[in-house]
Amino acid sequence: MASEKVETVIAGNYVEMEREEGSSKSTKSKFSNFLWHGGSVYDAWFSCASNQVAQVLLTLPYSFSQLGLLSGILFQLLYGLMGSWTAYLISVLYVEYRTRKEREKVDFRNHVIQWFEVLDGLLGKYWRNIGLLFNCTFLVFGSVIQLIACASNIYYINDNLDKRTWTYIFGACCATTVFVPSFHNYRIWSFLGLMMTSYTAWYMTIASLIHGQIEEVKHSGPTTMVLYFTGATNILYTFGGHAVTVEIMHAMWKPQKFKLIYLIATLYVLTLTLPSASAVYWAFGDLLLTHSNALSLLPKNGYRDTAKILMLIHQFITFGFACTPLYFVWEKFIRVHDTKSVLKRALARLPVVIPIWFLAIIFPFFGPINSTVGSLLVSFTVYIIPSLAHMITFSSASARENAVERPPPFLGGWVGLYCVNIFVMVWVFIVGFGFGGWASMLNFIRQIDSFGLFTKCYQCPPHKA
């Protein structure tokens, strides 16, 4: 019976396979589904918008101080479009892969499709290995950044403990994400996370305008090439949260709609990041060059503490978003991914958290690590590899003829699509990876020279460090 059902399934009709087990219509079941089991386009929108803005909302004013206001705005618009474009490419490749596999009667009922499997199915094991390497490394450091951000935010609420000690504490707290089975179960958390970041962004905007400009404020950026390209790669990271794209799509009932959802999410994110980064930079100017966490400059009051607490909770949620694909990879490696025991899977996932926890203690550099990850990892994981993979997948006439999804008409067909792909790859390789990698590594090395490894309290007042 199950095999017959899979025969009739087409790409995107994931609802038929997932809802088969839970058909109870009791009040308790409906309430549980509302809080726990996601999969609608709204859940995907919450997840995409929340995941994008969480990573760098507090460091974008720092990037504006490095880039200058005009370049900061232009880079956000450019990378927002480029990020939406590569999300579109990944969604096309996912639907292509899944359709081919379902025609072969493959059942994904107890299996979460991931990006490296899409590359493997469409292009072979070498592409799978490259995708796995970049994606996992990106997710590891993305999780590290969330732990560092947690420690930084809680320090500004309670500085009785140094940031390193707070990292120990929140590493243990974040380890509880091993109990969350999949992205279906982040429904309510995605919604709350988006509300939290929206509050924080508008608080930063309004508080900065009310505060006004500091005495003798200076807006010198850009002053050096190193700072300029470091700031640019931080924005590259802003719109490069694609490491969990396939997993979010797989959790949707209708994954074909993901590309439009991602674009709308990006537009919403711009309504948060452009006003907040611009207002904070206008108020504090060059002072942001030594304060990568923008909230550290705003006046202490209940509104700021609320923003910090909300971002703290949200960064915990984002840690789960970044770690969950790593959990899946590890489960598949040790062959426990298909088990239905939540406890068994949770215990199997613990070895993933420990090295992330350790790295966060070694490198507590909130702003510089964003730029380094953006230039060295996001550039390939999010922009170059999807563009090149899409071109190679549809390089033959037969592949183009039988493609599940064809290029949008306004591009002028496959030629126009290839032109956009080539532009994205060349731009990101030269500006993002080339200049950005050079600048970010120099900036990162300077942080190590200034503060050392295992720093107890990075960028803290002298009497607290």
Mean pLDDT for the stretch of residues 310-315: 86
The reply to whether 7 falls in a domain is no
Q: Which two tokens stand for residue 160?
A: 């009785």
Residue-wise pLDDT tens digits, 210-236:
999 999 999 998 989 999 998 898 898
Which pLDDT score, from 0 to 100, does residue 36 have? 46
Query: Residue 238's pLDDT band (boundaries 50, 70, 90)?
Result: confident
Burial label, 125 (beta-carbon count in 10 A; 0-12, 13-18, 19+): exposed
Domain CATH number, residue 146: 1.20.1740.10
- C-alpha–C-alpha distance, residues 17 and 19, integer Å: 6
| % residues pLDDT > 70 (the chain) | 83
The reply to whether 2 falls in a domain is no
List C-alpha distances in Å: 404 to 10, 44, 92, 96, 251: 11, 22, 8, 6, 20
Residue-wise pLDDT tens digits, 53-75:
765 788 899 999 999 999 999 99
The reply to whether 259 falls in a domain is yes
Which pLDDT score, from 0 to 100, does residue 4 have? 38
The reply to whether 33 falls in a domain is no
Mean pLDDT for the stretch of residues 146-174: 84
Residue 133 C-alpha from the chain's centroid: 17
The reply to whether 377 falls in a domain is yes
The reply to whether 351 falls in a domain is yes
Per-residue pLDDT for 423 more than 80? yes
Residue 388 C-alpha from the chain's centroid: 21
Per-residue pLDDT for 391 more than 60? yes
The reply to whether 28 falls in a domain is no
Per-residue pLDDT for 383 more than 90? yes
Which pLDDT score, from 0 to 100, does residue 60 have? 92
Among candidate residues 144, 151, 170, 227, the one with its CA nearest the CA of residue 458: 151
The reply to whether 125 falls in a domain is yes
Task: Report the mean per-residue pLDDT for the chain.
Answer: 83
Q: Which two tokens stand for residue 116?
A: 């490296």
Q: Which structural domain, as residue segments, surrounds residue 74?
A: 39-451
Q: How many domains does the structure of the chain reveal?
A: 1
Q: With contact defined as beta carbons under 8 Å apart, do 153 and 294 qualify?
A: no
Of these ranges, 108-117, 230-239, 397-406, the one predicted with the greatest mean pLDDT is 397-406
Residue-wise pLDDT tens digits, 35-46:
444 445 545 555
